[in-house]
Homo-oligomer: A and B are copies of this chain.
Amino acid sequence: MALIVQKYGGTSVGTVERIQQVAKKIIKHQQAGDDLVIVVSAMSGETNRLVALANELNDRPRGRELDVLLSTGEQVTIALLCMALQQQGINASSFTGSQVRILTDNTHNKARIMEIDDNKIRSALANGHVVVVAGFQGCDKDGNITTLGRGGSDTTAVALAAALKADECQIYTDVDGVYTTDPRVVPEARRLNQVTYEEMLEMASLGAKVLQIRSVEFARNYNVPLRVLSSFIEGGGTLITAEDPTMEKAVISGIAFNRDEAKLTVLGVPDHPGIATQILGPIAKENIEVDMIIQNTGYEGTTDFTFTVHRNDYDSALKVLQKTAESLNAREVTGDNKITKVSVIGVGMRSHAGIANTMFETLANENINISMISTSEIKISVVVDEKYLELAVRSLHTAFNLEKA
């Protein structure tokens, strides 16, 4: 008998009929003999409805009251799902974040889970109940309601699975797993049966559509087997786990990409310690997130410094950088907001040589110029002109044989 944590997102519980579908799914699992803890989100549309009400009353609603308001969304779903289960003769008990006691810090709207009390859940399970927990919410040590931020229900599910030492945490969503790349770009893209936490994290740009990156980190830290499945289509989904040394692995797991990037370069900066902070500090102060960062030696004791930002932040980043460049006596500032980042990801590249070369060669054969390169242990990213995005992804997908299992 396994203990499984399942999470159903907003679309999966978006209507009364869908809640009934979810109840049926749960009952099937229960009949297979598993102990079940179910985490649910607010019915789709509900959070937006509540935020709209808040905005009508306050330009900038405070975090504490916004959390009191938003947490009602999941509270409605847990009650309704229990009712649907009870209608089918299944014992079920609901718990809000405060009731479980999912203790968080007091950062309203994006709180972090500190500790989970598993007492109530364990005793409900011992009584043969399906336990239904509100995702996305908790409470701080003073009993104030907190929320984990959008998508936080995934994190709730993984944290519960960790606290309960569950056998698996299943995330039901509207896609049926993690793919080798975006099927809208490469129709031959294939669902992966298994990826490692690290690969999933590096696939952020692909994975973010599937599940919250934060919940993957959490799963990795506590070694919780995480499975992404579709609420609507039957199938085994994608299992995300620690690396298994006994298993034969594909060298490359997937190709990720970020469409809306922009790059900025400051040329001829005096090369002295602390230069990176001097350049990126003012950028961070403007709340602009930086993605890739590359520093290269320039000539005569100067250095060239390049970084990428989201395209929406390009103009403001450029303004900040020009000021910094002036104060640093840099030679020149350049930029390009029509670029895209393509990454090849796989834990296999640690033990296989020549991956980078295959990647560069493939792009060269297509006459795609690479303007930046950045590597990590299990990922190689290149920046190319945005017009080459599809061509780059497709040719790499073929080059690494990703369409074949």
Contact = CB atoms under 8 A, between A and B. Distances in A.
B69 A54 contact: no
A64 B75 CA distance: 13
Nearest to A52: B16
Secondary structure of the A side of the interface? helix
Contacts of A96: 68, 145
Given A68-B94, A83-B65, A94-B65, A99 B54 contact: no
Interface stretch (A55-63, A149-157, A330-338): A55-63
Given A69-B76, A76-B69, A98-B98, A56 B86 contact: no
B53 A16 contact: yes
B80 A53 contact: yes
A309 interface: no
A15 to B, nearest CB: 10
Given A65-B82, A94-B65, A96-B68, A76 B58 contact: no
Nearest to A71: B75
A79 interface: yes
A84 interface: yes
Nearest to A94: B68
Interface string A136-161: 00000001110000000000000000
A278 interface: no
Interface range on chain A (Cβ under 8 Å from partner):
35 or more
A51 to B, nearest CB: 11
A66 B87 contact: no
Taking each of A16, A72, A75, A120, which has the highest tally of chain B beta carbons within 10 Å of its own beta carbon? A72
A19 interface: yes
How many copies of this protein are present in the complex?
Answer: 2
A78 interface: yes
Given A65-B94, A98-B98, A143-B99, A58 B83 contact: yes
A322 interface: no
A61 B84 CA distance: 9
Contact of A57 (B20, B57, B69, B99): B20
Given A57-B83, A86-B58, A72 B65 contact: no
B53 A65 contact: no
A69 B79 contact: yes
A47 to B, nearest CB: 12
B86 A19 contact: no
A56 to B, nearest CB: 5
A79 B83 contact: no
Given A72-B72, A72-B75, A99-B143, A16 B56 contact: yes
A289 to B, nearest CB: 28
A75 B74 CA distance: 12
A71 B143 CA distance: 17
A53 B57 CA distance: 27
A84 B86 CA distance: 39
Interface in A61-112: 61-62, 64-66, 68-69, 71-72, 75-76, 78-80, 82-84, 86-87, 92-94, 96, 98-99
Given A16-B57, A72-B75, 17 more contacts: A50-B76, A53-B80, A54-B79, A54-B80, A58-B86, A61-B83, A62-B82, A62-B83, A65-B82, A66-B79, A68-B75, A68-B82, A69-B76, A69-B79, A96-B145, A98-B98, A99-B144
Interface of A: 16, 19-20, 50, 53-54, 56-59, 61-62, 64-66, 68-69, 71-72, 75-76, 78-80, 82-84, 86-87, 92-94, 96, 98-99, 120, 143-145
